[in-house]
Structure 1
Amino acid sequence: MTEQTVTINYGPANVEVDNSYENDASYGDELSSYSASLTSSVLDYRHENGRRYHKYRDGSYLLPNDETENNRMDMIHEMCLVLLRQKLYLAPIKSPKRVIDLGTGTGMWAVDFADQHPEAEVIGCDLSPTQTPMVPPNVKFLVDDIESEWAYESNPFDYIHARNLAVSIRDFGKLIKQCYRSVKPGGWVEFQDWDCYPISPDGSIEGTGLQRYFKEVYGAFEKAGVEVRPGPKLEKCFKDAGFVNIHVEKYIIPYGIWPKDPYLKKVGAWNQAQAEQHGFEATALAALTRHKQWTQDEVLLLASQAKADARKHSIHQMFDFYVVYGQRPEN
């Protein structure tokens, strides 16, 4: 393992010489000062309501990036491994040489993939440089906004992966078209994502604080222009982008251990565990305070009511989770 490298990508630009420096043979203190300024621009996080948020492209992502949230993201990674029966991906890729993980978060997926594929160069891309500090030598992390224009067409990928981008992307169709342009002919793109609104087959969620929570919180995300139900739309996005050999799998993620089936019970236990890690609060705070003008106390009360309902054995909720992959045509 080696220390991670964080790269800040601002895209191509015309380069003009700054003649304000003295004609020294080498750079001096001004280089250290300028480098420190660049680093601080990414690490100068926003702090509000007792949580920490990204500052680069401020406001693009409405969930925190602090240690508590990073721990929760790692728990979701483990839940997804259980859900997919310890598979990191489902696309039929073979010996990929260049791979990118969009919205990599803590970077756990990128690290695990790099361990499985030491022949591959693996890039993890995110708005925040909060990835795990120890990584394999074939991994690097890039600070960038994946909804901005990319510059990968001249050096495309064999495989592009994205997971859990719900409540963070405004236009999945545009993003997937960007993936199409940036993957090699014959290469694969895979998205794994939620329909964030819960299902309650027996109607037990009706009229509960839990139902009110999802209505208010996801209503705030939708007001902000963010997609909260990408899963069911992914297949059409892949078709519209031009992918072929599209494959769709839909999974059920229960909340809690109420299912009888041992596999679903284990998935549900992981889902409850990640939500108990301040997940209700993390999802709601910025969305409601910034876009619906709620107070912090009002949000925390709503979250506590939802969490209390979610712990009740009599309430049975679950979510649809989609895995969709497709191939760019060889020709």
Structure 2
Amino acid sequence: MAPDPTIPSTANSTLESSLVPLTSNHSQNKHPLCEGRRYHHYRSGRYLLPNDEVEQDREEVKHLMFLSLTDGRPFLASLSSPRKVLDLGTGTGAWALEVGDMFPDAEIIGTDLSPIQPTWTLPNVRFYVDDIEDEWVNGDDFDLVHARHVMPFLKDPGLMLQRTFEHLAPGGWAETQDIGHQVWCDDGTMSDDFAVAQFFDEITSAWGTFGADLRVGPKLGDMMRERGFVNVSTTVYHIPVGVWPHEPRDKELGVSFRIVIDMAISALCGAIANVRRWSDEEREAFADRCRRGLDQPSVHGYMKCYFVVGQKPE
């Protein structure tokens, strides 16, 4: 994933295993700190966001928000009884545990750079420390390979889709779920200087300097087809930015998304400042503008979320 210039890299595939079981005392738990936030140790610098408790809480809110989008379905793939499932970039492990609970006879594997998953788990769910941008060593013949909030942060999502294709069982499914990182508005209530829209423009530009495309979501369907997937479909959900909707379900989504964005502003403004070479005062002023923008109910902005599904031929 995209490197953070503020965190020294310790990546060395000759020194560390590509697939490490999660244990409470493993060296991968020795996370580096930067400006009061904690980041992953394994392949340090591959991912810009922290992995501390604040970020884990934010991920849990996102998990519930995505389940609300889909009426409680953890995936859209046409799969009724998966036998073997891989969750790439599992984060807190919430999605893997959700699927493991739904399908107790299935084997669920979750991998991530950070060993932040619970040490207790379901009997059919296992977590590993792994860099998914390396060669995969975590099995084959998966019925479902799932990646949520992963593809926009990779330097080569096409390669990830190719590896997914190769590790799927015939007839198996791949599914990506990603926020589009762009604020839209259909009724003219959003001005060109709306701070939240500028925030996502800035972070997209900053992450782009490391080779990642935060707005890759709508492109993933074609990328799947190019790599041999069939039955490819893209479902687009709208998530309100803020509390402006009147319909209760949309308002609840907007409240959740407001929390998700607000909790990320500090860390991501730091990444923007590093690229733009802003002073601390400039960074804080921009962050304050972003937070005020989240509390403007007169602006009817929303973001698109892309669920892209494809199947490996039988």
Structure 2 residue aligned with 1:176, among 161, 167, 176? 161
Q: Distance in 1 between matches of 2:308 and 2:237?
A: 11
| In structure 1, distance between residues paired with 2:36 and 2:313 | 48
Equivalent pair of 2:161/2:227 in contact (CA under 8 Å): yes
Query: What is the count of residue pairs matched by the alignment?
Result: 294
CA apart distance, 1:75: 0.4
Q: Which runs of 5+ in 1 are unaligned?
A: 1-7, 12-35
* Distance across 2 between alignment mates of 1:109 and 1:134: 15
TM-score using structure 1 length: 0.83
Residues 114 and 129, structure 2, Cα contact 8 Å, conserved in 1: yes
Aligned: 1:329 with 2:313 = yes
Displacement of 1:288 in angstroms is 2.4
Structure 2 residue corresponding to 1:55, chosen from 41, 46, 63: 41
The alpha-carbon deviation at position 195 of structure 1 amounts to 1.2
Contact 2:189 2:298 in 1 (8 A): no
CA contact under 8 A between 1:190 and 1:324: conserved in structure 2?
Answer: yes
Secondary structure at the aligned position of 1:119 is classed as coil
Q: Indicate the residue corresponding to 2:221 in structure 1.
A: 235
- Change in 2 beyond 3 A, CA 1:299/1:55: farther
- Indicate the SS of the match to 1:134: coil
Q: 2:254 aligns with which of 251, 254, 268?
A: 268
* 2:231 aligned partner: 245
User: Paired residue for 2:118?
Assistant: 132
Residue 297 of structure 1: how far off its partner (Å) = 4.6
Within the alignment, does 1:279 sit opposite 2:264 as a pair?
A: yes
Give the distance between the partners of 1:296 and 1:65, measured in 2 at CA.
23
Deviation at 1:296, TM superposition (A): 4.6
Is the deviation greater in 113-122 or in 200-209? 200-209
**Pair 156,163 (structure 1): closer, same or farther in 2 beyond 3 Å:** same
| Mapping for residues 1-331 of structure 1, pairs under 5 Å | 9-10=17-18, 39-40=26-27, 42-152=28-138, 155-165=140-150, 167-201=152-186, 202-276=188-262, 278-285=263-270, 287-330=271-314
Identity %: 36
Unmatched tracts of structure 2, length 5 or more: 1-15
What displacement does 1:152 show?
Answer: 4.9
Q: Structure 1 residue runs of 4+, over 3 Å off?
A: 289-298
Higher mean C-alpha displacement, 137-146 vs 212-221 = 212-221
Equivalent residues of 2:88, 2:145 under 8 A apart: yes
Contact 1:243-1:326 at 8 Å conserved across structures: yes
Q: How far apart in 2 are the matches of 1:299 and 1:217? A: 13
Task: Return the TM-score normalized by structure 2.
Answer: 0.88
Question: Could you tell me how far 1:283 is from its partner in structure 2?
Answer: 2.7
The answer to whether the 8 A contact 1:167-1:221 is kept is no
Could you say if the C-alpha distance between residues 54 and 295 of structure 1 is closer, same or farther in structure 2, counting changes exceeding 3 Å?
A: farther
Tell me the amino acid that sits aligned with residue 40 of structure 2: H
Which structure has the greater CA radius of gyration?
A: 1
Opposite residue 131 of structure 1, the aligned amino acid is: Q
Aligned to 1:263, the other structure's residue is in SS state helix
Paired with 1:299 and 1:66, the residues of 2 have a C-alpha distance of 21
Q: Which amino acid aligns with 1:39?
A: H
